[in-house]
Amino acid sequence: MKVLFIGDIVGSVGREAVRQVLPALRDKYNPHIIIANGENAAAGRGITRPIANDFFNWGIHGITMGNHTWDNKNIFEWIDDEPRIVRPANFSEVAPGRGMAIINVHGKKLAIINIQGRTFLPPIDCPFRTAEALIEEAKQITPHILVDFHAEVTSEKIAMGWYLDGQASIVVGTHTHVQTNDDTILPQGTAYLTDVGMVGSKEGVLGMEKEAVLHRFLTQMPTRFVVDEGKWHLHGIIAELDDQTGRATKIEKIRLTEESWLLMQ
């Protein structure tokens, strides 16, 4: 099985990049299942139902979220009805939505699990024990399991990779929007990357207009962040999994810029 995972999609610039590039990514890598992190898709804050439907219509099969899950309040009205979206499983047990989904595409089944870290983020249930419990549940259905660990610090993400080595097929980090260079297959067969990166403007700060971010750093005053409209970059990974065991056999980073993409056309 081949799995394409696309990093945090930020605002309209990120959405347009995905719309443009996804057909070429499908042609090049021939993935069976495509997953994307969509928690910043709506102006950098959360996701809306029309945006989620666009992603599905473009060929994305499942969407993971993160700490901005609830920023668009109308998500409470529809997330329970959309089985292809997962929010962090270690949110409160009374939170709507689900933390795990089984994505089934032409008989290929992939469990996607969303977990949020606790370091420098709001206190929530233990991400390690939550992930482990859901993986045991997923194994009753499929050996192919992807964990999106939406966390702030590299140490917590790396620790999760080691903790889930041999249990999950893929463990990837999201949230920090900067693709790391430590893609590897861990000793027990888990494909790992500390942070997949993002899809959005590369001319701002993590997809946001740099002027507002600089103003906050320089003045320590509240500032409204706005999605930057500059040229985009797109980050993701492609992973190959053994059909029988679910162990990863390959992981490869994807890095594209708008300039390099235009040269390819």
So what's the pLDDT on residue 265?
61
Name residue, tokens 């042609």: 27
pLDDT tens-place string over residues 186-215: 999 999 999 999 999 999 999 889 999 999
Average pLDDT of the chain is 96
Task: With beta carbons less than 8 A apart as the criterion, state whether 221 and 202 touch.
Answer: no
So what's the pLDDT on residue 19?
97
pLDDT at 262 over 80: no
pLDDT at 112 over 70: yes
pLDDT tens-place string over residues 7-28: 999 999 999 999 999 999 999 9
Rounded Cα–Cα distance for residues 9 and 36 (Å): 8
Query: Residue 68 catalytic?
Result: yes
Reference 259, options 228, 229, 227, 233; nearest CA is 233
The helix/strand count (H/E) of the chain reads as 6, 14
pLDDT tens-place string over residues 152-191: 999 999 999 999 999 999 999 999 999 999 999 999 999 9
Per-residue pLDDT band at 264 (split at 50, 70, 90): low
Task: With beta carbons less than 8 A apart as the criterion, state whether 176 and 9 touch.
Answer: no
Average pLDDT over residues 89-107: 96
So what's the pLDDT on residue 261?
73
Rounded Cα–Cα distance for residues 39 and 11 (Å): 10
Q: Which of 32, 61, 68, 150 is catalytic?
A: 68
